[in-house]
Amino acid sequence: MQIQTPKRTLITTEDGSHSIYVPELNEHYHSTHGAIQESNHVFIEAGLKEILKSKRSISIFEMGFGTGLNAFLTLIYSLEHDIDIQYTAIEAFPVEEELLNKLNYGEIINEGAFENYFMNLHSAEWEQWNHLHENFQFIKHKVSLLDFKSDDKFDLVYFDAFAPNVQPELWTTEIFQKIYNSMNSGGVLVTYCCKEHEIGWFFD
Ligand SMILES: C[S@@+](CC[C@H](N)C(=O)[O-])C[C@H]1O[C@@H](n2cnc3c(N)ncnc32)[C@H](O)[C@@H]1O
- At residue 6, the pLDDT reads 80
What integer is the mean pLDDT of 83-108?
97
Ligand 1 center to residue 173 CA distance, Å?
19
What integer is the mean pLDDT of 37-58?
97
Asked if 126 and 157 count as a contact pair (C-beta separation under 8 A), the reply is no
Ligand 1 pocket test: which of 25, 162, 165 has the largest number of ligand atoms within 8 Å of its C-beta? 162
Q: How many CA atoms lie within 13 A of 19 on its CB side?
A: 22
Residue 203 has pLDDT above 60, yes or no: no
Would you call 204 helix, strand, or coil by DSSP?
Answer: coil
Residue 179 has pLDDT above 80, yes or no: yes
Ligand 1 center to residue 82 CA distance, Å?
28
Confirm or reject: Cβ of 89 under 6 Å from ligand 1: no
